Structure 1
Amino acid sequence: MRTLLAAKDANMSQSANVDAQQIDLFNQQAHQWWDPNGQFNALHKLNPLRMAFIQQHQDFPEQKILDVGCGGGILAEAMAQAGAEVTGLDLADDLLQVARLHALDSGVKVNYVLEDVADHAQAHAEHYDLVTCMEMLEHVPDPQAILHACAKAVKPGGWVICSTLNRSNKSLLLAVITAEYVLNLVPRGTHHHDKFIKPSELTQMGRQAGLVMQSTAGMEFNPILKRYRLNDDLSINYLIAFKKV
């Protein structure tokens, strides 16, 4: 496995908006990304909900889509299978290698790129019909800068769709303590409650980036009852759809 320092020196912008410890954690878990019964089981269960929410706002066929923080490619592959032209962007090199290998095995065409989103947006301004940023904003030092880059990359009238975690007592209990330390649904240390973002805060960040909030939805993830669905409860995991003015 390449060290994080080597990957950064070879491929990352020195000003990359990245938490090195989080990148290292995800790289260490890269081999488990596509195991539906492994430590990323939650992502596999939530992906159909993310796809359903996106489809409420944007059709997939022949659309150019940028998936920011694509990880091992669970969402990127699904969107490509639905007919989109997808570019997956991440700074975790080992995860991107897993994504590329899985795409080869599954025969799905996705362009995976190791690049900071700000640099990519600078080179591909107003290029995409849709930009997705799922379960990523709570892992970076400056989520506002990520939204600005997403807004720069999307065409006028295009969509930016994000998902993240609300900074609530309920999310601390269920998304951190229960999910990581009781049920072991995600690797320990994945989430830091102080980095979670309230919907009102994310709406304001979007507004400052020239994005207008159009709709929201909560994502219910109940592994005990095996119930996974979109709802109106934004207290834990939630999705938000912005449109570029």
Structure 2
Amino acid sequence: MSHPDLQLDSRSGIATVTIARAAKRNALTLPMWRGLATLFARLSADASLRCVILRGAGDVAFSAGADVAAFAEERGTPERERAYNDALVAAFLSIERCAHPVVAAVRGWAMGGGCGLALMCDFRVGGPGTRLGIPARMLNLYYPHEGLDPLLRIAGEAVAMEMLVEGRTYSGEEALERGLLTRLVPDEAVVAAAEALAGRIAEGAPLANRYHKRALRALRGPLPLTAAHRAELEEFPRSADFAEAVSAFLARRRPVFRGA
């Protein structure tokens, strides 16, 4: 296994990946981001599979995103920031580029990087109690271009601005209206509905399913990213506002941003 907090179950051509850190609302540490990328790369290469389900343990959260409490050890220097961003982007892209269709069972909170993981999936099943948001503005955090791409493609610039700049969090019904969820079912039925959807996908021709996923991605083309775009991302964690945001998060108080 790529990480002990990432559980894998495979049966009948369907692999289920569970982010198993319920006590922390399935927040991911740096080793977990790396482990997720490794695991999905392995699943993508498994020709016996026909579909993958991604879910969180418990019924409170799909994933709260990055574990901010671990930032003191995982981030803070240019080298660490580069490594962290590389791991985050690799995890995101490993899902988007997985050869097989990926279904997210989005029960509960999907925030920040957790929302990003859900948006990388091809199908997102949620309930009225699902909450999707990207509170990066309250941590003075960047959201990588690779994570912004599916948000913009799925929901458009207006919704992206609401989530990123206003800091709006959407309920399950609101998320469905905006395309952030593809299916809405009762909260207690989210996992079962995701499994049923994966079962229907697995009944189809796997070569055709893989081709269509690959073809749709090819039609979108590559992201027009430059070295300057990459370098810009490394500036955020060097700011005083970033240090203030992390300190406020750990102290459970509201941060005071000064734009520096």
Answer with 1 or 2: which has the greater Rg: 2
Q: TM-score, normalised by structure 1?
A: 0.28
More strand by share: 1
More helix by share: 2
Q: TM-score, normalised by structure 2?
A: 0.27
